[in-house]
Amino acid sequence: MPEDRLKDYRAKRKRGATPEPGVDGKGAAGADGEGARFVVQEHHARRLHWDLRLERDGVLVSWALPRGIPLDPEQNRLAVHTEDHPLEYIDFHGEIPKGQYGAGTMTIWDTGTYEAEKFTADKIVATFHGERLRGRYALFRTRGDDWMIHRMDPPDPGREPLPGVIEPMKATLATLPEDDEGWAYEIKWDGVRALAYCEPGHLRLVTRNGKEVAHRYPEVRGILEQLGAREALLDGELVAFDDEGRPSFQRLQRRIHVESDAAIRRLRESTPVTYMVFDLLHLDGRSLMGLPYEERRAELEALELAGPHWQTPACHRGDGAALLAASRERGLEGIIAKRLGSPYVPGKRTRDWLKVKNVRGQEVVIGGWVPGKGRREGELGALLVGYFERDGKQRRLRYAGKVGTGFDAAELRMLRERLAPLERDDSPFEGRQPEKGAAFVDPELVCEIEFAEWTRAGTLRHPSYKGLREDKPARDVIREKPAEPPGI
């Protein structure tokens, strides 16, 4: 009987080409469910998954779990029934060579014993006694060869699930703090802010406006390999770098609007992105948002997240002036100052996080455009932009001027295409109005600009277009004014 049970196992493996046990041998006799053994192996193959194997009738009955073991009864997770394995496999760990079935690294994630209440061809109910896998679970067939694994016990006491979609904490435009004590400083990354919801086998990247964009940046998915079975909520920035290694929001524009799988694969090679992780909000069932920044940062650094497309950039305690000067020499946008004792407050703009810029920048709402002249005749000549101002409970769009530089031909075409369905007859601006001959649009698109200064009339002087910001809702765009430097 064991010989027949291992026929598929041996057929998928080449004798002498893999270190896996039992390729030629027979399965040994084993227990029959009462105190029988189990193993969970973490398998870094083409896709990371976990293999659950139960000792039964002289073999290891096996399932592949693409998203690991569920820790909450609200989560049913896929279990792919695979071929039976020999009992000797319960101790196997090592490297399956490239080119062989299941090539990759196999490690033992947990092992122990289990007691089966039910063990049929369609359903198994068992209690597991391991260090990590503990409690009562059900494995059940859904249709065909599809199975699911379900936790039957309640969650562990005190365990908190990953939160739903939250809005990132915001920084206030300011100058450096008067006293460095109690502050840490980081480089300000010129990219797209995104929260990373990391669960075994599943990544969500959510921008400031709640949009899910992980499919646009498949190279970042590799961070799950490093986290393994851990569950985390990270805060960071998606960044594209120029040829000198500086963050380039304009280069990132090539990736932001792309939806085609084929185009994403091409751009992944020509314009790769890196996820710069600077905060840790949730880890393995614990919310860290109430902890001081320096404690969250210590737990983040302990994860040692570093890979080809994800990094944990350095932070510096004190001496913000030196880091600001170094960022200026490198041609970077500026730095972020974070108060060491500050909690993480989702969606709030506080004085505990400060952005200190080398270049004056502003997010603005597009409310219209004017036709081009000369070389640009018949094309978009300049964008008409503004910002929202509160007036009691109302938000009014105030005109801030024209942006007519910083575009290339491809960007102009893209902007015309994006603005066309938003056209309207009347001006969305209240108060001062742009020149005659303007075409108006609903104020929904946000772009980022650099500029020299604000005039007394509230107009941008010498603004230059940097790119659209799809990660920011238009209603949140206000005129940013530097706050007074905080003390300690």
Distances (CA, A) of 35 to 83, 127, 170: 22, 10, 53
Q: Give 143-170 pLDDT, tens digit per residue.
A: 878 899 999 999 989 899 999 999 999 9
The stretch 32-41 carries a mean pLDDT of 79
What is the rounded CA–CA span in Å between residue 336 and residue 276?
A: 14
Distances (CA, A) of 390 to 361, 362, 387, 400: 21, 17, 10, 15
Question: How many contiguous H segments (helices) and E segments (strands) does the chain have?
Answer: 8, 30
Q: Is the pLDDT of residue 107 over 60?
A: yes
Give me the pLDDT at residue 391, please. Answer: 78
Give me the pLDDT at residue 32, please. Answer: 47
Give me the pLDDT at residue 124, please. Answer: 97
Give me the pLDDT at residue 486, please. Answer: 66
Give me the pLDDT at residue 482, please. Answer: 75
Could you tell me which residue, 470 or 102, shows the higher pLDDT? 102
Q: SS3 of 18, please?
A: coil
Give me the pLDDT at residue 217, please. Answer: 97
- Of these ranges, 15-19, 157-161, 365-369, the one predicted with the greatest mean pLDDT is 365-369
The stretch 255-281 carries a mean pLDDT of 94
Calculate the average pLDDT of the chain: 91
Give me the pLDDT at residue 2, please. Answer: 43
Q: Where are the beta strands (DSSP E) in 58-166?
A: 59-65, 76-86, 94-96, 104-119, 123-130, 134-143, 146-151
**Which of 118, 188, 436, 481 is labelled catalytic?**
188
Fold agreement between 170-356 and 361-476: no
CB 115 within 8 A of CB 54: no
Give me the pLDDT at residue 48, please. Answer: 94
Residue 320: partners with Cβ closer than 8 Å, 6 or more residues away: 176, 177, 180, 183, 185, 335, 337, 356
What is the rounded CA–CA span in Å between residue 427 and residue 443?
A: 10
Nearest to 247 by CA among 180, 313, 151: 313
Q: Is the pLDDT of residue 440 over 80?
A: yes
Could you tell me which residue, 104 or 487, shows the higher pLDDT? 104
Q: What is the DSSP letter of 348?
A: -
Number of Cβ within a 10 Å radius of residue 12: 14
Confidence of residue 487 (pLDDT cuts 50, 70, 90): low
Q: Which residues of 190-213 are buried (b: 16+ CB within 10 A; e: fewer)?
A: bbbbbbbbbbbbebbbbbbbeeeb
The stretch 129-154 carries a mean pLDDT of 94
How far is C-alpha 478 from the geometric centre of its chain's CA atoms? 26
Confidence of residue 3 (pLDDT cuts 50, 70, 90): low
Confidence of residue 481 (pLDDT cuts 50, 70, 90): confident
What is the rounded CA–CA span in Å between residue 278 and residue 236?
A: 5
Q: Is the pLDDT of residue 390 over 90?
A: no
Number of Cβ within a 10 Å radius of residue 467: 21
The stretch 274-287 carries a mean pLDDT of 97
Q: Where are the domains of the chain?
A: 2-151, 170-356, 361-476
CB 363 within 8 A of CB 447: yes
Q: Is the pLDDT of residue 297 over 90?
A: yes
Q: What is the DSSP letter of 162?
A: P
CATH 2.60.200.20 fits 170-356, yes or no: no
Q: Is the pLDDT of residue 33 over 60?
A: no
Q: Is the pLDDT of residue 323 over 60?
A: yes
Q: Checking DSSP bridges between strand 170-173 and strand 349-357, what pairing results, if any?
A: parallel
Give me the pLDDT at residue 394, please. Answer: 85
Does 188 participate in catalysis according to the annotation? yes
What is the rounded CA–CA span in Å between residue 217 and residue 257?
A: 11
Give me the pLDDT at residue 356, please. Answer: 94
User: Could you tell me if residue 200 is left (phi over 0), alpha (psi between -120 and 50 degrees) or otherwise beta?
Assistant: beta
Nearest to 43 by CA among 305, 198, 225, 218: 225
Q: To which residue do tokens 């198994």 refer?
A: 124
Could you tell me which residue, 473 or 220, shows the higher pLDDT? 220
What is the rounded CA–CA span in Å between residue 388 and residue 364?
A: 9
Q: Give 223-235 pLDDT, tens digit per residue.
A: 999 999 999 999 9
Give the CATH H-level superfamily of domain 361-476: Nucleic acid-binding proteins (2.40.50.140)
Nearest to 47 by CA among 201, 197, 215, 199: 201
Q: Give 399-408 pLDDT, tens digit per residue.
A: 999 999 998 8
Task: Indicate the pTM of the whole model.
Answer: 0.84
Both tokens assigned to 175: 């100058």
What is the rounded CA–CA span in Å between residue 365 and residue 351?
A: 24
